[in-house]
Amino acid sequence: MSDRTTSWRERLAHVPRRTRRVGAAGAALIIIGAGVTWALSGRHAVQGAPGGTTRPAAVETTAGRDMGGMNMGGMATSTGGAVHLTANQIRQFGITFGTAEMRRLEARVRTVGTVAVDESRIAQVAPRFGGFVERLHVDATGQPVRRGQPLMDVYSPELLAAEQELLVARNLERSIGESTVPGVPAGAPDLVAAAKRRLQLWDISEAQIEAILRTGEPRRTLTLYAPASGIVLEKNVVQGQAIQSGQMLYTIASLDDVWVEAALREQDAGAVRIGSAASVALAAFPGRSVRGRVTYVYPTLDSIARTIRARIEVPNPDGRLKPGMYATVELTTPTRTALTVPASSVVNTGERAVVFVELGDGALVPREVVVGRVAGDYAEVLSGLEPGQRVVTSAQFLLDSESNLAEVMKSMIGQMSMSDMNSTGRMPDMSGMNVPGGDRAGVNAKGAPMTNMPGMPMPADTSRR
């Protein structure tokens, strides 16, 4: 075994095991880098080689030379992880740019919702007297009705007695007014007005009361009318049924305006407020979204689904929005003006956020930034950039891997003594360094001897000597 190899092993014996592992990792990265360079830079024929064979161009790693001009896969890298590209490379890799600018952020939340009836447009029919249903004019759920349309005819003994009292009061008032008996005042208490008031409190219309007074005969049945226009959502009465005071017979709702109850995730609750614009799309009408506004955000959280409901009021003049339909909702809320970059320009590594800034002449350098709220297509930048700087918006992961590989290789090689390199600029003999997966130097995980990489001879297998 050569003295050079012995010298290397003696030095390695005094190096801590952790440093040895770092050195091994560095050597592995250098081998990978050499392979990438060989694959991308092409193969060069060596004149005079037996059989006209070709071999990869050697990677030059001269001791003491600054590696700021390292060429990785056709990209030139320099100190600080900057990547230098030509105009042709920028087009080839599909690199695009955006600008860091002051913009007004718009928080956008995409969620789902359900169409519901506007509760402020619901009316119920519940008579204030008991009786029997003689006839139904509206006898089906879902039937549209107009305000003032007849719903049913009701026979009520109480109502019939009140009608007779009205007629008696009218006749008594006439008799008292025509009396000539001394001591009887010409003006008697207004008994008719009191009887009228009683019928009005039972929701008997003024026209029905005047009809009773005009004919002078009580009506056996009286008609109940629709208090509002809309659709009959519920019908709880049939013809001939006995009804009681306060019993709910019909539920009528107007669908000219509807609500969309949107479910907001807990983390999106702060991005939506009253007045936020909403775009509602339904599967039944693709490509025909409707606009609305958030009118209320519920103050309670669903502890099971972990969602908060937001109420969106949507006009529905043509009635195509049906209660119960599912909808896709996109909410937009203007927030504040801040320094922003396109959201696609930010590379999140889990521990930090990085953007690549163009410095001119094809130089792209990574910058660590602090990112705030991401609103739509833009991300807020709290620190790390200045307005007007151009940033890369595509192919960032290619640039990031190129920059990181160059930085790791330079830091690893910097830990090795340049005196350990031979005069030809080749890497030192690595005898005694354990290869991951192998049990001795120069042997891979499968037990086969490792061949020399271009410019990096592997240690000879001394077990065969």
Band the pLDDT of 440: cuts 50, 70, 90.
very low
What percent of the chain lies above the pLDDT cut of 70?
Answer: 65
Residue 226: closest CA among 299, 136, 120, 165: 136
pLDDT at 89: 80
Render pLDDT for 37-73 as a digit per residue (tens, 0 to 9). 444 444 333 333 334 433 333 333 333 334 444 454 4
Token pair of 87, please? 């105009």
Render pLDDT for 260-291 as a digit per residue (tens, 0 to 9). 999 999 888 888 989 999 999 998 898 889 99
Section 454-462 average pLDDT? 48
pLDDT at 446: 45
Q: Which residues of 107-126 are buried (b: 16+ CB within 10 A; e: fewer)?
A: bbbebebbbbbbeebeeebb
CB atoms under 10 Å from CB of 173, counted, come to: 18
CA dist 172 to 59, 101, 190, 191, 213, Å?
124, 88, 10, 8, 13
Section 360-377 average pLDDT? 83
What's the rounded Cα separation, in Å, for the pair 350 and 33?
Answer: 25
Between 245 and 444, the higher pLDDT residue: 245
pLDDT at 185: 56
**Alpha-carbon dihedral 257, 261, 262, 267, rounded to 10 degrees:** 130
pLDDT at 154: 94
What percent of the chain lies above the pLDDT cut of 90?
Answer: 31
CA dist 363 to 75, 86, 146, 381, Å?
10, 9, 73, 22
Residue 394, class by beta-carbon neighbours within 10 Å (0-12 exposed, 13-18 middle, 19+ buried)? middle
Render pLDDT for 230-264 as a digit per residue (tens, 0 to 9). 999 999 999 999 999 999 999 999 999 999 999 99
CA dist 163 to 148, 157, 169, 206, 210, Å?
22, 10, 10, 13, 11
The answer for residues whose C-beta is within 8 angstroms of residue 128's C-beta and 6 or more apart is 201, 202, 203, 245, 246
Band the pLDDT of 94: cuts 50, 70, 90.
confident
Residue 282: closest CA among 257, 255, 301, 260: 260
H or E segment and range at residue 292: strand 290-297
pLDDT at 325: 94
Render pLDDT for 119-172 as a digit per residue (tens, 0 to 9). 999 999 999 999 999 999 999 999 999 999 999 999 999 999 999 999 998 888
Section 343-370 average pLDDT? 85
Q: Indicate whether 34 pLDDT > 50.
A: no
Phi, psi of 263 (to 5 degrees): -100, 115
Quick one: DSSP state of residue 448?
P
- Please report where in the chains the tokens 């009683």 appear, as a residue: 198
Residue 198: closest CA among 172, 168, 177: 168
Rounded to the nearest integer, the mean pLDDT of the chain is 74
pLDDT at 310: 95
pLDDT at 81: 64
pTM, 2 dp: 0.56
Section 374-384 average pLDDT? 84
Between 385 and 418, the higher pLDDT residue: 385
What's the rounded Cα separation, in Å, for the pair 210 and 218?
Answer: 11
* Contact predicate 417/8, CB 8 Å: no
